[in-house]
A and B are shown apart, each in its own frame.
Chain A
Amino acid sequence: MNRMTTPLSIQRRLTLAFLGLAVVPLLLAALVNASLYYRQHAGAQLNGMQQIALRVAAQVDGALRQGEQALGNLRRFNDLPRLTPKAQEALLSELLAQHALLQEAAVLDAQGRELARHSSVEAVLERRDRSADENFHRAAASDKAHYGAIHYDSSGEPLLPLALPQRDLYTGHIETILTAELRLKSLWNLVADLTPGPGAQVYVLNERGVVIAHRNPSVVLRGTRVAIPDQPAVTQGIEGNPVFMAVSPVQLGDRGFQVVAEHDWRHAMTPAINSLLVLGGVLTVALSLAFAAGMHVLRYIVRPIMDVEKTTRAIAAGDLTQRLVINRRDEIGHLAESFNAMSDHLQRTLTELRDEVVVRQRAEAELMRHREQLEVLVEQRTTALRESELRYRTVANFTNDWETWLGEDGQYRYVSPSCERITGYRAEEFMADPELLLRILHPEDRARFQEHLGGNREATQVQTQEFRLLRRDGRTIWVEHICQPVHDERGRYLGTRASNRDLTEHKHLAIELARARDQAQGANRAKSTFLANMSHELRTPMNAILGFAQLLQQDASLSAAQLTHVETIARSGRHLLTLINDVLEISKIEAGKAALDPQPMDLIELIESIEDMVRLRAENKRLALVVTVDPQVPRNVRGDAKKLRQVLINLLGNAIKFTTHGGVSLRVDVEPGARGRIRFEVADTGCGIAADDREHIFEAFFQSAESSVSGEGTGLGLSISHEYTELMGGQLTLESEPGKGSTFRFALPLKPINESELDRPKTGGRVVGLAPGQPRYRILIVEDRPDNRELLCQLLKSVGFEVRSAENGERALNVFHTWHPHLVWMDMRMPVMDGYEATRRIKASPQGHNTVVLALTASAFEEDRAAVLASGCDGFLRKPLEVDVIFAAMAEHLGVRYQYAEDLHAPPVGIDALLPDAQALAGVPAALRKQLGHAALLLDGQAAMQVIRQIHAQQPVLADKLARLVDDYQFDELGRLCNELAETAS
């Protein structure tokens, strides 16, 4: 409803009247006041300036007139024209000494010639003719003092010339003219001193309006010109700004100067403007206050009237709930009360009528709603039921399996159509004849199935049965039968639901699979046997080939061509041997036979020994070798030191091999994060690996273009390293850029251990003999290889055992029966009778169970262990043998106690006992020693083994010891031994 006030509403009229009364007079008063205030202030300013100008003018006049007076006095008290020039000069000199204002003074005759002159700044040596001087003429033409134009002397001093004529008192003719140069600086200083405070300034103008004295001398020197008003006024000042300016003239002789005082308008008016602002603020506040008070009064008068008007309109429009809320005790209050009472009555009557109608309508609507709901409900239930049935039937009919429902009376309630595909009989046939299923069951399965049916009712779980059926076409098929009894919520048996699946195809496949697995296992066994044979047998002929090739190389009778051929044989042989070893290694890995042997180890020591080993090789190739071990890397860890050593030597060896410039680095640190794996990184600046090769670099027998050219290696080193890293729980990765270098990285989960856990070599030292009081044990060594046999014999004899030996099982049985040894060391592969057979027979004999049989095997495969133990052996040792392991095994099985060397600083038993002593090595030909040293330097295991094989021919024990070093990758130790000998020899 529109209640916009009309232009003539009471409220608007009152508002306008009030505003007119309050605001207009106030604004008028403010305007008049401000105007008056400004005028008064400006007048005071101009007046002030005028006062200043007058005062300064008086002082300027006084200051300059001093010079005039001094000259005048000279004229008055001395009969100057009649004195000698010398006396005149003495007077002038006295004058100048008394008045610093004067810089120079002179006495001129009537023609303008100098009679005497004195200067305080220069020596006067001659008298000048100044008849051409304008100042002289001006002075001569008047009675008054004449002030000339300002000029500056050589030192920049501003000077004002002054000429004073002196006339004969009787004739009135010019007698002499006194001249002087006034130092204007004193006028400048005076003006500067008299300059009032900030915003105001005082200066002196000559007749042309040029400034001749100002606080700032540069204004004078610039020749600034100022236009001055006739009367004090607001005009443009010396700086071009509006100023209050007043002028006072100074008359000096025949010249008039103007002293100007000015005050910057803005600066002068600041207090006035500020007070006007305050006035404005107060006015605003007062207006606002008056307005607020006025509006309050207005509201008090007008609001009730408007409320009454508004409520009346609302009721007229039909809204009877409207009431007036006016809590006043005046006439308007009474009006409101009567009005509200009337409205109440009207509204009550109307409300009662309306309520009656509403109650009836509501009851009717309620009835209607109930009926509709019932109908809808029935419709919904019926549809849901129908849909549900259709859904389940479709599922059952479409399933591949043969679904049945057997009622509690043994009659089929439902058989799915798929039964025809499985059995050849239609669903109707099953429905019609409940016995049909039993009839087509395979006779062997019938009894089992009936038993199953019998126990079916009691079962609560799903039951599964497999049985055979005879199809209508006579074929036999396998069927998987899954069934479950169904009960209602009260536990009443309703029947059995079953699902049958055709399993015939599965059965056939399973049989095929078993056959294939058997074949594969057979092939694998054959491969393992082949590899085992190769490991055992291939190396033996290689020994002969390489050994004899070496011997031939030393044969002086060979021709050069023959030597070249022999060299080729040796090189090819070495390569073949490397290949065999690597193939064997990779086969072990592929066959899953490579087992991890985690032992406590000193990681730092390991890295240092590898560094020592590789360093010489790197230095030989003039490569930098940088080994960095992060201080966080734990020293003592648990891990397979042998495999880690092989991986690092492989990687570093490769890096050095393929690098010609720059260097190779090994970095070891701890992987950040919780896992704390230890990271190894081998980087080089070598030729790098092409992107295509990078994918295959870890595959067995793969060789990159570069390594193919070099013609070395088998291509197995990286593959072995890769497999070993994975075996140890890491992943060997490669980053490489051809031409720039390669970086190999891996991280291993090497668990840190305490120092105490580190299995330091036992300080018991090496075994030097049997402990006192020990019985004399009889030991039989059965071994077909004479050198191995001899080695073991000597080792055991040296300690104090009684030892006999046999070269095969048959001979061993003979010795056993006659000699009754306490312990038999039994090689498992021998001609005539092998170790398995011999052991079985020994154990079968009456003394057999008292005799300890320990097997020796060179087999690379762990699975042989089972076969060995099955034959009756008490223990199992793998070749090559370690001395302390041999003694430990005998101690374990016989209870032998030993005497140890006392030396606590002895090297570890395994090394020490097998350490080739220098004397033994001295027996080896120097050429072989040199070759061995060279091979050790290059970390070339194959080459080293080849030399060792040659040594083996003469000194099998020493050779085995040396071979141990090579096997353990202890090239540094090997190199040290060879070098030591070379040094002592030289």
Chain B
Amino acid sequence: MCRFRPGMPPPKPRGLCIADPFETGSKALRPVRRSLPFLSAPVWLGASALLLVLAAWWWGRPAPRAPMVTIGIVQLTAVDAATVEGFKAHLTELGYQEGRDVRYRYPGPAGSIERLAPMLAEQLAAGVDLLLVSSTPAAVAAQAATAHTAVPVVFAPVNDPVKAGVVKSLQSPGGNLTGVRLPQGDAIRLQWLVKLAPQVRRILFPHNPNDPSAVESLRQIQAVSAALGTTLVTQPLPTAEAMEAALRAPPQVDAILLPRDSSVEARIADYVALARERKIPLCAPSLTQVHAGALVSYGFVHYEIGRQAARMAHQILGGTPPGDLPVETALSSLAINLRTAQAIGLSVSPQILRSAHTIVR
């Protein structure tokens, strides 16, 4: 402020003091005035233009794309290869284009249970977003491997996920695992066999008593066998030697029903040969064996399981927690080998053929 008190020596003329705009005006406007020297018109115009450009850019920037998803696939055996096909095919239908939206890490089947854990560890280390695992051991291993991570796991299939301890319950699995389980279709299979060949009475049931799946098959079949008017000739084959012996001297039966039993399934060629030689029907658990020469099967199709799993993966990737997705049951379907039917002299009615999902001609 320019203040002149009486008694002070006369100051020199101070033009600056008079011209100083800070010395004038009300208090309310003072802060704005102090910043005025920095707010010349070019600065203001430049700043506002910059602001507008920034706003326009921010407004017009492209919506961020969803990042690419990596799916790791771990399988115990090559049997499940068709699952992967179905999985990929349905994900593609759901809009996941491979290479653009999704990348698959599939190093091939593990071959042995021991190799599962390292393969899973390798997949997790590579930072997969989701794991697709096939068969019960693979799902159990995946559960252990992801125990401390949040990586979701879709299994396709697991025979009995509750019994295997993979999920808490079918409806709400909890945890980070869900997927497709196998249907309990052995009773219907026997029914189809009887429908196809009504004269059948004595049915051979070779199985490995140490295989839980085979035992479960036996339980289901025994429950309905009598009601369907058949007699079950069970043949426990705990060892390879016993299997050899049984194949060399088969008992006299009207048909053969093979359980879900890997050791028995492995000898499908021998059983096909045996059935053709005796001209009796051979009923097998899945489509694969029908392609190999078995007369009939009623069970799951790997490719379809893959598709089912793909939908679940889609839901998980869309944000639904895997623990909220109920375990789904694979659909069973009927398959008939007409060539085998012809070879053993069995005629199949058109009604039955109309019910079949797959017919091998």
Please determine whether B24 and A293 come into contact, CB atoms closer than 8 angstroms. no
A293: chain B residues within 8 A (beta carbon): 41
The answer to the question of A125 belonging to the interface, with a C-beta cut-off of 8 Å to chain B, is yes
The answer to the question of B252 belonging to the interface, with a C-beta cut-off of 8 Å to chain A, is no
A120 to B188, CA, bound (A): 8
Give which listed residue, A94, A189, A192, contacts B351 with CB less than 8 A.
Answer: A94
Please determine whether A314 and B4 come into contact, CB atoms closer than 8 angstroms. yes
The answer to the question of B360 belonging to the interface, with a C-beta cut-off of 8 Å to chain A, is no
Binds B, one of A321-329, A435-443, A901-909, A961-969: A321-329
- Convert B288-322 into 0s and 1s, putting 1 for each residue whose CB lies closer than 8 angstroms to a CB of A: 00000000000000000000000100110011110
Known interface pairs A120-B332, A282-B52, A292-B41. Does A90 touch B10 (Cβ–Cβ under 8 Å)? no
A221 to B323, CA, bound (A): 12
Known interface pairs A90-B352, A97-B355, A307-B18. Does A221 touch B331 (Cβ–Cβ under 8 Å)? no
Please determine whether A285 and B332 come into contact, CB atoms closer than 8 angstroms. no
Least CB distance from A119 to B in Å reads 8
Please determine whether B172 and A221 come into contact, CB atoms closer than 8 angstroms. yes
The answer to the question of B266 belonging to the interface, with a C-beta cut-off of 8 Å to chain A, is no
Give which listed residue, B59, B172, B324, B331, contacts A120 with CB less than 8 A.
Answer: B331
A278: chain B residues within 8 A (beta carbon): 55, 58-59
Least CB distance from A96 to B in Å reads 8
A12 to B191, CA, bound (A): 102
The answer to the question of B224 belonging to the interface, with a C-beta cut-off of 8 Å to chain A, is yes
The answer to the question of A311 belonging to the interface, with a C-beta cut-off of 8 Å to chain B, is yes
The answer to the question of B234 belonging to the interface, with a C-beta cut-off of 8 Å to chain A, is no
The answer to the question of A319 belonging to the interface, with a C-beta cut-off of 8 Å to chain B, is yes
A152: chain B residues within 8 A (beta carbon): 171
Please determine whether A125 and B224 come into contact, CB atoms closer than 8 angstroms. yes
B183: chain A residues within 8 A (beta carbon): 121, 155
A295: chain B residues within 8 A (beta carbon): 29, 32-33, 36
The answer to the question of A100 belonging to the interface, with a C-beta cut-off of 8 Å to chain B, is yes
- Convert B8-36 into 0s and 1s, putting 1 for each residue whose CB lies closer than 8 angstroms to a CB of A: 00111101101101011110010011001
Binds A, one of B42-50, B116-124, B277-285, B337-345: B42-50
The answer to the question of A275 belonging to the interface, with a C-beta cut-off of 8 Å to chain B, is yes
A169 to B318, CA, bound (A): 50
Give which listed residue, A90, A122, A192, A274, contacts B187 with CB less than 8 A.
Answer: A122
Please determine whether B51 and A281 come into contact, CB atoms closer than 8 angstroms. yes
Known interface pairs A282-B51, A303-B24. Does A311 touch B331 (Cβ–Cβ under 8 Å)? no
A1 to B58, CA, bound (A): 54
The answer to the question of B267 belonging to the interface, with a C-beta cut-off of 8 Å to chain A, is no
The answer to the question of A217 belonging to the interface, with a C-beta cut-off of 8 Å to chain B, is yes
Least CB distance from B348 to A in Å reads 12
- Convert A108-128 into 0s and 1s, putting 1 for each residue whose CB lies closer than 8 angstroms to a CB of B: 000000000001111111000
Interface of A is mostly: helix
Of all chain A residues, the one with the shortest Cβ separation from B45 is A289
A456 to B330, CA, bound (A): 141
Interface of chain A residues 253 through 286 with chain B (CB within 8 A) = 274-275, 278, 281-282, 285-286
Please determine whether A123 and B170 come into contact, CB atoms closer than 8 angstroms. no
Please determine whether A156 and B171 come into contact, CB atoms closer than 8 angstroms. yes
The answer to the question of A291 belonging to the interface, with a C-beta cut-off of 8 Å to chain B, is yes
The answer to the question of B91 belonging to the interface, with a C-beta cut-off of 8 Å to chain A, is no
Please determine whether A5 and B25 come into contact, CB atoms closer than 8 angstroms. yes
Please determine whether B10 and A321 come into contact, CB atoms closer than 8 angstroms. yes
The answer to the question of A588 belonging to the interface, with a C-beta cut-off of 8 Å to chain B, is no
- Convert A317-342 into 0s and 1s, putting 1 for each residue whose CB lies closer than 8 angstroms to a CB of B: 11111111100000000000000000
The answer to the question of A215 belonging to the interface, with a C-beta cut-off of 8 Å to chain B, is yes
A146 to B51, CA, bound (A): 63
Interface range for B: 35 or more
Considering residues A119, A195, A216, which has the most beta carbons from chain B within 10 angstroms of its beta carbon? A216
Please determine whether B13 and A323 come into contact, CB atoms closer than 8 angstroms. yes
Give which listed residue, B25, B329, B355, contacts A157 with CB less than 8 A.
Answer: B329
Least CB distance from A37 to B in Å reads 14
Please determine whether B21 and A299 come into contact, CB atoms closer than 8 angstroms. yes
Known interface pairs A275-B59, A306-B24. Does A217 touch B324 (Cβ–Cβ under 8 Å)? yes
B324: chain A residues within 8 A (beta carbon): 216-219
B16: chain A residues within 8 A (beta carbon): 325
- Convert B174-208 into 0s and 1s, putting 1 for each residue whose CB lies closer than 8 angstroms to a CB of A: 00000001011101101100000000000000000
A87: chain B residues within 8 A (beta carbon): 351
Please determine whether A221 and B18 come into contact, CB atoms closer than 8 angstroms. no
The answer to the question of A562 belonging to the interface, with a C-beta cut-off of 8 Å to chain B, is no
Least CB distance from B21 to A in Å reads 6
Please determine whether A121 and B320 come into contact, CB atoms closer than 8 angstroms. no
Please determine whether A155 and B55 come into contact, CB atoms closer than 8 angstroms. no
The answer to the question of A11 belonging to the interface, with a C-beta cut-off of 8 Å to chain B, is yes
The answer to the question of A733 belonging to the interface, with a C-beta cut-off of 8 Å to chain B, is no
Known interface pairs A288-B44, A317-B4. Does A215 touch B13 (Cβ–Cβ under 8 Å)? no
Interface of chain B residues 103 through 161 with chain A (CB within 8 A) = none
Please determine whether A195 and B318 come into contact, CB atoms closer than 8 angstroms. yes
Please determine whether B190 and A123 come into contact, CB atoms closer than 8 angstroms. yes
A288 to B38, CA, bound (A): 12
B45: chain A residues within 8 A (beta carbon): 289
A318: chain B residues within 8 A (beta carbon): 6
Please determine whether A11 and B4 come into contact, CB atoms closer than 8 angstroms. no
Please determine whether B18 and A310 come into contact, CB atoms closer than 8 angstroms. yes
Give which listed residue, A11, A185, A319, contacts B25 with CB less than 8 A.
Answer: A11
Least CB distance from B128 to A in Å reads 22
A15: chain B residues within 8 A (beta carbon): 29
Least CB distance from B323 to A in Å reads 8
Of all chain B residues, the one with the shortest Cβ separation from A325 is B15
Of all chain B residues, the one with the shortest Cβ separation from A19 is B29
The answer to the question of A654 belonging to the interface, with a C-beta cut-off of 8 Å to chain B, is no
Please determine whether B18 and A292 come into contact, CB atoms closer than 8 angstroms. no
Please determine whether B26 and A12 come into contact, CB atoms closer than 8 angstroms. yes
B256: chain A residues within 8 A (beta carbon): none
B18: chain A residues within 8 A (beta carbon): 307, 310-311, 322-325
A155 to B327, CA, bound (A): 8
Known interface pairs A221-B172, A307-B18. Does A319 touch B48 (Cβ–Cβ under 8 Å)? no
A96 to B192, CA, bound (A): 14
Least CB distance from A89 to B in Å reads 9
The answer to the question of B227 belonging to the interface, with a C-beta cut-off of 8 Å to chain A, is yes
A156 to B83, CA, bound (A): 23
Please determine whether B328 and A185 come into contact, CB atoms closer than 8 angstroms. yes
- Convert A174-194 into 0s and 1s, putting 1 for each residue whose CB lies closer than 8 angstroms to a CB of B: 000000000001000100110
Known interface pairs A121-B188, A215-B315. Does A11 touch B24 (Cβ–Cβ under 8 Å)? yes
Least CB distance from B89 to A in Å reads 16
A94: chain B residues within 8 A (beta carbon): 351, 354-355
- Convert A1-14 into 0s and 1s, putting 1 for each residue whose CB lies closer than 8 angstroms to a CB of B: 10111000001100
A121 to B183, CA, bound (A): 7
Please determine whether A292 and B332 come into contact, CB atoms closer than 8 angstroms. no
Please determine whether B187 and A123 come into contact, CB atoms closer than 8 angstroms. yes
Please determine whether B39 and A288 come into contact, CB atoms closer than 8 angstroms. yes
A311: chain B residues within 8 A (beta carbon): 18
The answer to the question of B243 belonging to the interface, with a C-beta cut-off of 8 Å to chain A, is no
Least CB distance from A939 to B in Å reads 71
Please determine whether A292 and B354 come into contact, CB atoms closer than 8 angstroms. no
Least CB distance from A286 to B in Å reads 7
Known interface pairs A93-B355, A217-B325. Does A286 touch B4 (Cβ–Cβ under 8 Å)? no
13 A-B pairs within 8 Å (CB atoms) are namely: A3-B24, A100-B331, A123-B188, A125-B227, A192-B315, A198-B319, A221-B172, A274-B59, A288-B39, A293-B41, A310-B18, A314-B4, A319-B10
A155-B329, A215-B315 known, 14 other contacts, Cβ within 8 Å: A94-B354, A120-B188, A124-B191, A155-B184, A217-B324, A217-B325, A217-B326, A288-B39, A303-B21, A303-B24, A307-B19, A314-B4, A322-B13, A324-B18
Q: Nearest 8 pairs between A and B by C-beta?
A: A325-B15, A218-B324, A123-B187, A156-B170, A90-B351, A285-B48, A278-B55, A93-B355
> Hey, which bits of chain B sit against chain A, CB under 8 A?
2-4, 6, 10-13, 15-16, 18-19, 21, 23-26, 29, 32-33, 36, 39, 41, 44-45, 47-48, 51-52, 55, 58-59, 94, 169-172, 181, 183-185, 187-188, 190-191, 224, 227-228, 311, 314-315, 318-321, 323-329, 331-334, 349, 351-352, 354-357
